[in-house]
Amino acid sequence: MTKVFLKKQIQNRVLQGHPWIFGNEVAEIKGDVNAGDIVDVYTHKGFFLGRGYINPQSQILVRLLTRDKNEEINPEFFYRRILKCWEYRQKLGYVENCRLVYGEADDMPALVIDKFNDYFVLQTLALGMEKWKDAIVDAINRIFSPKGIYERNDVPVRELEGMTQQKGFLSAPFDTNLVINENGLRFHVDVVNGQKTGYFLDQQDNRREIKHIVKGADVMEAFCYTGTFSCHAGFYGAKSVLGLDISETAVATARKNAELNNLQDICQFQAVNAFDQLKQWTKEEKKFDVVILDPPAFTKSRENIQKAVTGYKEINLRGMKLLKPGGFLVTASCTNLVSPDLFLQTIDAAARDAKKRLRQVTFQTQAQDHPILRNIENTTYLKFLIVEVS
């Protein structure tokens, strides 16, 4: 097997458990290098570090799959790993809908599998994982006997690995417009055209956190997408809910979700630019009891972090100004490059500018089916905060 030897001075991160090895961390490669092949990785002194897949076209040269020298990477390896992921989710109570495999946090770098009851949606985001797609599908079939499997590999990051974007059935075709249960409500999932894998499972725990603060409240949600937070607010007893999103398609689905849960009289939705609407309402001094902000990622590149921070500060400042005294701000960020500390600093800066005092109710990350490895920063990406604003 091809052997990859690391440089002496920059291997601590890998020694401490991170599965990524960048090209500039490698001192020498002994053997043939074929994109997607399995290779062994060693320290500069020749100590075995791990086994993973290589791709010279990618900035991340090697992604480690195992640190056990005796563990072979074969179809049975993927069966065991996916079974282990499922057993872990069951222990936490995620038996119906969950992120079954969360990449690096499940020792399966660049693999994402979401479970929507009896249907599965997967993403193989690196060439080394793509090569094992048949084994992954076989493992899903063996463990779950699913009603359907679909791939959502229509993501630009695949092109950095020398792959094309694609999506389609990995099983017999099925109706890809699903309905799932969450926290006592029902929601439409568009597997083919929805964001990511069709639905944001990562907020399913956080959506329960608004239960008490929305009772009898006038609620506004900006960037509502398909209205999941809005519907939860209506379900939990809000007096009125108004959801805003720039996408006509998302708003149409939000209205369908409200009807599905008999909330159409409480939950209203508008297809507008949320930034502009927040600005206009601030001028008009419009007020709500609860403001929910759950925007899409503002940047995926380090060069634009400051622009993202500016965007978060602006929407949160406006959100605070739209609250009645003692109202609640529910705010989130899924921008991976904005750390939890930076996010909180940004909210604090917005409060200073808005001359508001914040009292924290809760600060959380993504749902527990998206596990966090303490030694791998990029497994923590979602920030979710509720504060009382006065």
pLDDT of 110 reads: 97
Across 276-313, b (16+ Cβ under 10 Å) vs e yields ebbeebbeeeeebbbbbbbbeebbeeeeebeebbebbb
Look at the chain and report how many structural domains it folds into: 3
pLDDT of 60 reads: 96
Same domain flag for 294 and 259 = yes
Residue 181 counted as domain residue? no
Same domain flag for 227 and 375 = yes
Residue 143 counted as domain residue? yes
Same domain flag for 213 and 128 = no
Residue 197 counted as domain residue? no
pLDDT of 355 reads: 97
pLDDT of 305 reads: 84
Measured from the Cβ of residue 11, the count of other Cβ atoms closer than 10 Å reads 20
Across 1-10, b (16+ Cβ under 10 Å) vs e yields eeebbbeeee
Same domain flag for 150 and 250 = no
Please check whether residue 132 is in contact with residue 78, taking contact to mean a CB–CB distance below 8 angstroms: yes
Residue 263 φ/ψ, nearest 5 degrees: -115, 15
Residue 212 counted as domain residue? yes
Q: For residues 50 and 67, what is the distance between their CA atoms, to the nearest angstrom?
A: 4
Same domain flag for 216 and 328 = yes
Q: What is the CATH number of the domain that holds 19?
A: 2.30.130.10
Residue ranges of the chain with per-residue pLDDT less than 50 = none
- Residue finishing a domain among 66, 89, 108: 66
Measured from the Cβ of residue 73, the count of other Cβ atoms closer than 10 Å reads 17
Q: For residues 384 and 333, what is the distance between their CA atoms, to the nearest angstrom?
A: 7
Which amino acid is located at 283 in the chain?
K
Q: What is the CATH number of the domain that holds 282?
A: 3.40.50.150
Same domain flag for 19 and 138 = no
pLDDT of 331 reads: 98
Q: For residues 204 and 241, what is the distance between their CA atoms, to the nearest angstrom?
A: 19
Same domain flag for 335 and 219 = yes
Same domain flag for 82 and 137 = yes
pLDDT of 11 reads: 66
Same domain flag for 138 and 222 = no
Same domain flag for 62 and 141 = no
Q: Token pair for residue 3?
A: 């052997």
Domain containing 251: what range?
205-389
The size of the chain, in residues, is 390
Same domain flag for 216 and 342 = yes
Q: Token pair for residue 248?
A: 């006509």
Same domain flag for 234 and 368 = yes
pLDDT of 296 reads: 85
Residue 279 counted as domain residue? yes
